[in-house]
Amino acid sequence: MLSWYFVADNVLEEVTFGWPRQRGSFQLKEHLALGLERAINWVGLNGISLDKDPHSLSGGYKRRLALAIQLVQIPDLLILDEPLAGLGMMMHFLIFNPVISWLLLFAHGTSDVPSRELAALVDRSWRMEMGGVLKEEPIAF
């Protein structure tokens, strides 16, 4: 069973954990607020109360919250391990299509060709062979 480690009492505090509280320019706070709004919308959390306890969320919403926490600062590179686990197919496209210019996905499997779900999200695919050798793989659409 997957354990979730949230540090705040509600969704808003969780997503904004670590932000500058008193110090910081107006522009920085405005940038962070816009990042918060985008992240909440990207992952589909805009339908829940930001006052809700993160531990009371369903597994799918906890996964969305974990993604929002990472996306709020709009990183240049996002590295995800098994990002599609626990999310419906529609959420794959809603979350990953507008998010970021560089997204590195890790998926575990034995197939020689990436799954169609992953193929819709990536431009290139590699398989790691024994010994750590990377081999580029065709993408199946």
pLDDT: is 120 or 62 the higher one?
62
Position 9 scores a pLDDT of 93
Q: Where do the structural domains in the chain lie, given as residue ranges?
A: 11-75
Q: Evaluate if pTM is beyond 0.85.
A: no
- Find how far residue 51's CA is from the centre of its chain: 21
Considering only CA atoms, give the Rg of the chain.
17
Position 124 scores a pLDDT of 75
**Catalytic positions, please?**
82
Strand blocks (E) in the chain: 77-81, 102-106, 125-128, 134-137
Tens-place pLDDT, residues 3-12? 678 989 999 8
**pLDDT class for 56, splitting at 50, 70, 90?**
very high
Tens-place pLDDT, residues 60-98? 888 889 888 888 877 777 776 666 566 665 455 555 555
Structure tokens, 62 = 């906890």
Whether the per-residue pLDDT at 51 is higher than 90: the answer is: yes
Task: Give the Cα separation of 77 and 80 in Å (integer).
Answer: 10
Task: Give the Cα separation of 9 and 16 in Å (integer).
Answer: 12
Position 3 scores a pLDDT of 65
